[in-house]
Structure 1
Amino acid sequence: MVQITFMKNPVTLPNKEVKVGDQAPDFTVLSNDLKPVSLKDTTGKIRLVSVMPSLDTGVCSDQTKRFSDEATSLGSNVDVLAISVDLPFAQKRWMDINKADTITILSDHRDLSFGEAYGVTMKELRLLARSVFVIDENDQVTYVEYVPEGTDHPNYENALNAVKELTN
């Protein structure tokens, strides 16, 4: 079971822990135009899934910008997905302000489907724990990082290298 803190306080995550080698669990989240999006919608591509509590915080915004900046260099067979529980309208506003058109930002606010399937829902806060997953074209998980302290940055280089290993 993954144990993390948020602002130095322990938080409770679901018992579900996704590990390298697992078949990626399916989920349903919402796009910025309120349409459902599932893992199956991106099958056949490599996915870098960047998960954060809220785009309205500095670390989350930086994380999303970093992966957005890197997205084009990863190739056309890679989709970068950013998932939070922010409302789709807030996500769209953030995308417009930050000119982030190289990634897909998705909302798990409705059902916490992604959060529950990947074990990243912080029960006490109803936010997603900072984490990164890389999923290959066959929906197998090849990289996982549950960031131990929710206000810290993920290891960008490790995540990007995990994607690059799949594209070579």
Structure 2
Amino acid sequence: MTTVTLKGNPFDTVGSLPVVGSAAPDFELVKTDLSVATLADYSGSKLVLNIFPSVDTPTCATSVRKFNESAAAHKGVNVICVSADLPFAAARFCGAEGIDNLDTGSSFRSTFGDDYGLAFANGPLQGLLSRAVVILDEAGKVIYTEQVAETADEPNYEAALAALA
């Protein structure tokens, strides 16, 4: 269990992020076309998992925009923005924003939040995913993690992008 805050109020997640150096847990996420994305689909390239509560909040939307920009500049890197939002919400947001350099994945039908230790266990966001970044190498090994301590804050983009070098 990890404690994070939302506007200074503490809440717990169901676990902890995967440890750097470990094999990433497999996942099944629903893409905007309702197909299922799995970890194996991204084998052979580095993968950035930008994880957050909902694209319909300002900080989450900003993180999607920033990772969309950075994804275009890094060859051999894929980005998945992961939330419990329905695939329709992600498609609406990405379409309206012109975001096309990344994938979105909904955890609404999966155990992703439990497997990655970041579903909120209590509080007003219970059942949603806490803000985190997990980066995997080409073989699916965890090379970087950040559990954002204050949910309203953005992740450390510079550190995440440095892990891709």
Alignment correspondent of 1:102: 101
Calculate the TM-score normalised by the size of structure 1: 0.92
Q: Amino acid of the residue matched to residue 153 of structure 2?
A: D
Q: Amino acid of the residue matched to residue 67 of structure 2?
A: F
Give the conservation status (yes or no) of the 8 Å contact 2:17–2:145: no
Matches of 2:39 and 2:48, distance apart in 1: 12
Secondary structure at 2:145 match in 1: strand
Alignment correspondent of 2:5: 5
Alignment correspondent of 2:112: 114
Query: Structure 1 stretches (4+) deviating beyond 4 angstroms?
Result: none
Q: CA deviation at 1:12?
A: 2.0
Q: CA deviation at 1:17?
A: 3.1
Superposed CA deviations along residues 108-155 of structure 1, whole A, max 9, x for unmatched, are 1123x2211111101222110000011000110000000001111100
Give the conservation status (yes or no) of the 8 Å contact 1:16–1:117: no
Alignment correspondent of 2:24: 24
Q: Amino acid of the residue matched to residue 41 of structure 2?
A: D
RMSD (CA atoms): 1.1
Gaps of 5+ in 1: none
Task: Tell me the matched-pair count.
Answer: 162
Matches of 1:11 and 1:108, distance apart in 2: 20
Once the two structures are aligned, what percentage of the paired residues are identical?
A: 35
Q: Amino acid of the residue matched to residue 119 of structure 1?
A: G
Q: Amino acid of the residue matched to residue 2 of structure 2?
A: V
Matches of 1:38 and 1:6, distance apart in 2: 30
Q: CA deviation at 1:72?
A: 1.0
Matches of 1:23 and 1:74, distance apart in 2: 23
Give the conservation status (yes or no) of the 8 Å contact 2:2–2:12: no
Matches of 1:123 and 1:155, distance apart in 2: 24
